Structure 1
Amino acid sequence: MQIFLETERLVLRRATLDDLDAIVELDSDPKVTWFVTGGRATPREVLRDEVLPRWFSFYDRYPGFGYFIAIEKATGDFLGWFLLRPNDKPVRSDGSTRDGIELGYRLRQASWGKGYATEGSKALVDKGFADLGVERIFAEALAVHGASRRVMEKAGLRFVRACRDNWPDKIPGDENGDVEYALTRDEWRVLTGADAATR
């Protein structure tokens, strides 16, 4: 198991083909995928033949970045995944630009409301700035996705702008557009006191 990062309650590690069944189950829960596909499940063959190979390619192309499986330390249970990755679609359909490294997460419904999304996100933000030389981290969500926006805020990211992109699945509320939250390295240093530690 290639551990990427540990927190108080989580282990984040690289994905493998052995994670396929758990990822299929995750993406088959309509509540989990509601704000992504409107609740439509991702077919197993798409996850196996397209999604996971794309994840694996990130590990080679961008060392230190990619998609990471979240495991609960206490039980060893699969909770979902996080991402910290260079974005391959820098320009949105409204002409605004995605700048920096993208933070994201998708967790099983049973793990919601326990602070795991915030814990993993904070750890990845710290890792990105402290160890990986990242200058800016951003995250996006539908404007109506309040739970995801709260995680971004708790992880230290700040609202930057309302924006809009064309997504393949139409979801109730997507007419309100998207939001971008972000944090720069300098803002992170102030937020965490890291700037004082380097003086």
Structure 2
Amino acid sequence: MKASDDQALFQIFNDPKAMKFYLHTKSMDETKLWIQSVQNHDMSYGFSLWTVEKKGGKQIIGQCGLLLQKVDGTIEVELGYLFLQDFWGKGYATEAAQSCINHGFQNLGLTRITALIDPEHHASRKVVVKIGMKKEKQIIKWDKPIDVYSIQAGGVSVD
């Protein structure tokens, strides 16, 4: 993810429908700060979120990747993704999420990856279940119930 991705990501972050399960939409300034935080995370830990481009083109259609996240007082590696509405329901999130899981296990040597899913976000739940994640528990995070899904190394199909 780079600073010049700000316009493309702002299209997603400023869309109330795309951001329905997040705390709020983001302004352009907040989008720029988000990109900086993602870059800092990558420099510090060697992994982060990437932009997702449609095959055969340069159009950014979303973001997907791995970030550190506090879950019930423990630091976990979390899978996260967010896409433009035009690309929902077409398999892009599943493909990107599977690639990130594979990268985490094969290249980063991770042994466990989690996903934090709003219980009402049925499409996101479908993505993580499709890539082999299982629901572990429900916690309160961001002042609301959040389902914690996880997968262990060896529990994912490798392409």
Q: Normalization by structure 1: what TM-score?
A: 0.74
Is 1:53 equivalent to 2:33 in the alignment?
Answer: no
Unaligned runs of 5+ in 2: none
Compute the RMSD of aligned alpha carbons. 1.8
User: Over residues 25-52 of structure 1, what are the superposed CA-to-partner deviations in whole Å (9 max), with x where a residue is unaligned?
Assistant: 1111111001113xx421111222x212
1:80 aligned partner: 62
1:12 is matched with none
Measured after TM superposition, the shift of residue 99 of structure 1 is 5.2
Q: Supply the AA of the counterpart residue of 1:76.
A: K
Query: Radius of gyration: which is bigger?
Result: 1
Give the counterpart letter for 1:34 in structure 2. K
Corresponding residue of 1:122: 98
Q: Encode CA deviations 1:135-164: one digit per residue, 9 max, x unaligned.
A: 100001111111110011011111111111
Kindly report structure 1 stretches of 4+ aligned residues shifted beyond 6 Å. Answer: none
SS of 1:187's equivalent in the other structure is coil
Over residues 39-76 of structure 1, what are the superposed CA-to-partner deviations in whole Å (9 max), with x where a residue is unaligned?
Answer: x421111222x21211110121011x101000011232
The AA in structure 2 aligned to 1:43 is: S
Structure 1 residue 98 displacement after superposition: 4.5
The unaligned stretches of length 5 or more in structure 1 are 1-14, 168-173, 195-199
Q: Name the CA distance, whole Å, in 2 between partners of 1:86 and 1:27.
A: 20
Whether contact under 8 Å (2:13, 2:31) holds in the other structure is no
Structure having the higher strand fraction is: 2
SS across alignment from 1:125: helix
Matched, 1:44 2:20: no
| Matched residue type, 2:31 | L
Determine whether 1:33 maps to 2:19.
yes
Question: TM-score with structure 2 length normalisation?
Answer: 0.92
Number of aligned pairs?
159
Which of the residues 169, 172, 183 maps onto 2:151? 183
Correspondent of 1:146 among 106, 113, 122:
122
Instruction: Report the 3-state secondary structure (helix = DSSP H, G, I; strand = E; otherwise coil) of the residue aligned with 1:118.
Output: helix
Corresponding letter in the other structure for 1:151: V
Q: Equivalent pairs: percent with the same residue? A: 25
Aligned counterparts of 1:121 and 1:31: Cα–Cα separation in 2: 21
Secondary structure in structure 2 of the residue aligned to 1:139: strand
